Amino acid sequence: MRIVCPFCGERELGEFTYLGDAKPVRPAAGASEDDVFDYVYLRDNIAGETTEHWYHGGGCRAWLKITRNTLTHEISSVEPAAGAGAAKVGA
Amino acid sequence: MAEFSWASRSPLEHALVVGAYGARDVEPGISLTEIRNFELIQVMARRGKGAELARTAKARFGMAAPNVPKAVSASDVTLIWSGPDQFLVLSKGGKHAIDILSEAFSQSASLSDQSHARVLISVSGAKARAMLAKLSSIDLHPAAFPTGTAAATSIDHTSVNLWRGYDRPDGQAVFNLLVFATFAESLWHTMLDAAAEHGAEIGYSEELG
């Protein structure tokens, strides 16, 4: 498997580390225990397209958000995760 | 207070043995040269300051800092892309040392002095690409990796900054490689193993190519 890093170009899988599902959103402070439990522990096991966070630790060290099909391993999009390239915010 | 005198020593001091290495019955296909005593500063744009850093860098170095995987050179400095919104400043002689750059970039970037934290290895020769092909998955063919191309990548599970510098006078491509000082000896031995079959000429230099 290869991933096309938006900063570096196409690289081998060994340069990347998988973090996990990119879907869960951190609940607001004061959210219920159930919401926090859901955020920390519960994950969908999707057969099909899913979004994931990957880390290009063996390259430019940017976090990436990847859309991947778990049935075919086809990667349909790779984009910088929130915060990557932060220097451009407001520029 | 006691007076200290810090003697600068290369992390490859013990591993690097000047002379021929590997196959002896052939013309050496690879030159492995450690470049010693350089200044290397990591520059990273602060949040929202990317455009300001770009302007400041252009004023400071007389050329735009690379915002894609490239390395650009002027007579006294090389700027090497190392990731989004960040680059390395490689120089010699103190003109672009940390105290001077800190002042120039105080509004737009965070700086970190890597001068003694990295080892710079220059690989060239007719078999340089064949040797690097054993260690790296990056396509180093001139069509894919021309002079001035840079990559932040891994070799032998070790992070490196790799870029192609100006060709040698004999036309051979030169690949420069920055590696963390504490990983340098390990990588050096890996490179020697990869170079052995082609025959290598080992040396060190104080000159930035």
At residue B123, what are phi and psi to the nearest 5 degrees?
-115, 125
**Cα-atom radius of gyration of chain A, to the nearest Å?**
15
Look at residue A1 in the predicted model and tell me its pLDDT.
87
Edge to edge, what strands does the sheet with A17-21 contain?
A17-21, A49-55, A63-69, A75-80
Test B85 with A88 for CB contact under 8 angstroms: yes
pLDDT band at B6 (very low <50, low <70, confident <90, very high): confident
Residue A89 has what pLDDT? Answer: 46
Lowest mean pLDDT among A20-24, A34-38, B34-38, B75-79: A20-24
The predicted pLDDT at position B2 comes to 76
Domains and CATH numbers, chain A: 2-24+34-84 (3.30.2270.10)
Q: Specify whether the CB–CB gap between A22 and A77 falls below 8 A.
A: no
CA distance A19 to A42: 15
Q: Where are the alpha helices (DSSP H) in chain B?
A: 50-61, 98-104, 128-133, 181-195
Which of A7, A58, A88 lies nearest to residue B154, judging by beta carbons? A58
Q: State whether residue B147 sits within 8 Å of chain A by CB.
A: no
Give the homologous superfamily in CATH for domain B39-113.
Heterotetrameric sarcosine oxidase (3.30.70.1520)
Considering only CB atoms, which chain A residues are within 8 Å of B154?
A: 14-15, 58-59
A89 vs B: CB within 8 A:
yes
Second-level CATH architecture of B19-37+116-205 = 2-Layer Sandwich (3.30)
Categorize the per-residue pLDDT at A4 as very low, low, confident or very high, splitting at 50, 70 and 90.
very high
B136-176: per-residue pLDDT in tens? Answer: 999 999 999 999 999 999 999 999 999 999 999 999 999 99
Instruction: Report chain A residues whose CB lies below 8 A from the CB of B156.
Output: none
Kindly determine whether residue A15 and residue B154, on different chains, have CB atoms separated by under 8 Å.
yes
Q: How many CB atoms lie within 10 A of CB B104?
A: 17
Selection from B58, B71, B60, B43 nearest residue B95 by Cα: B60
ipTM: 0.89
Q: Give the pLDDT confidence of B52-73 residue by residue, as tens digits.
A: 999 999 999 999 999 999 999 9
Alpha-carbon Rg of chain B, whole angstroms?
Answer: 18
Mutate to test the interface with B, among A3, A8, A12, A63 (most CBs of B within 10 A): A8
- How confident is residue B7, by pLDDT bands cut at 50, 70 and 90? confident
